[in-house]
Amino acid sequence: MKKIYLILLVAVTGITYSQSILLSTPTTVTNGLISPALSTIVNGDTITYCVSDLITTFEDGKVLVINNTVSTMDIKVKRFGTQYSCFNSNQFCWTICYASATSISPDGISITAGDSTTAFHGWMTPDESEGCCFMKYRFFNANDTTQFADVTIKYCFSSSCASPTLGTAEPAKTNLLALYPNPASDVLTAEFGPIENTGLISLTDITGRVVKTIYLGDQASKQVISLEGLKDGVYIYTLHNNGKTISTKKVIVRK
């Protein structure tokens, strides 16, 4: 914990903040940090990390969390997205490092007034190809969920991290990018532009009967679908977002 951090931040910048929870980039050099600069408040903004290793899991998506109130606060974390939302899988650490399927930390960290913690780490496992993915996190008071702060971390795996134009454009949000394998037997993997707010995938048989529905988290961009229980045949894959049909494709199940 670093209780003097907020005092120093105000003294150096001359800025005061009204939010109950403040989020900042780390105070010391961190592996892969591209922007913004160290010790920058990022509430509602994006932190970009990039590494050139396309194989090894990146474990340094760090955020400094500050209790900007006069009382002790028990803070938890929510991840907006599933374990397959970015690359091969993703997870985060708070009190401990949770399994990939965990989207809300079961435990909170007690942070005293004006204090901070560097306990948060976001993890990404690359799929051995270059690219960027966005993951949103919410830090909230476990005893008063109206007190929260959001930040998005942009994780990039690229051989050219020094390039100032790296990943400046977010992936397209309207088109299905990939659906594989097709034909499929056990599982089907769908990759698409990040879903905003609420989205779902539906599989229907040739009679129009919905045989499977998968609900997607905010900013989801990849989903692995189990085909267990489905018979051989032709199915229709449909991606929906905010009540609108985004993409429709034909899928063959052959076991």
Q: How would you write the pLDDT of the chain (255 residues) with one tens digit per residue?
A: 444 444 445 443 444 456 899 999 999 999 999 999 999 999 989 999 999 988 899 999 999 999 999 999 999 999 987 776 678 788 999 999 999 889 999 999 999 999 999 999 999 988 777 888 888 899 999 999 989 999 989 898 888 887 645 544 443 334 456 788 888 899 988 887 777 666 788 888 888 888 998 888 777 788 899 999 999 998 988 887 766 777 778 888 988
27, burial (CB in 10 Å: exposed 0-12, middle 13-18, buried 19+): middle
Long-range contacts of 27-36 (CB under 8 A, 24+ apart): 27/2, 27/64, 30/60, 30/62, 31/60, 32/58, 32/60, 32/161, 33/60, 33/62, 34/156, 34/161, 34/166
Examine domains 4-157 and 176-253 and report if their fold is the same: yes
Query: For the chain, what are the domain ranges?
Result: 4-157, 176-253
**Lookup: tokens for 114:** 């004006």
If you classify domain 4-157 with CATH, what class do you get? mainly beta
Sign of the CA dihedral running 151, 113, 109, 125: positive
Q: What share of the chain is helix, strand, coil (3-state, %, to 5)?
A: 5, 50, 45
Name the class of domain 176-253: mainly beta
Task: Tell me the whole-structure pTM to 2 decimals.
Answer: 0.63
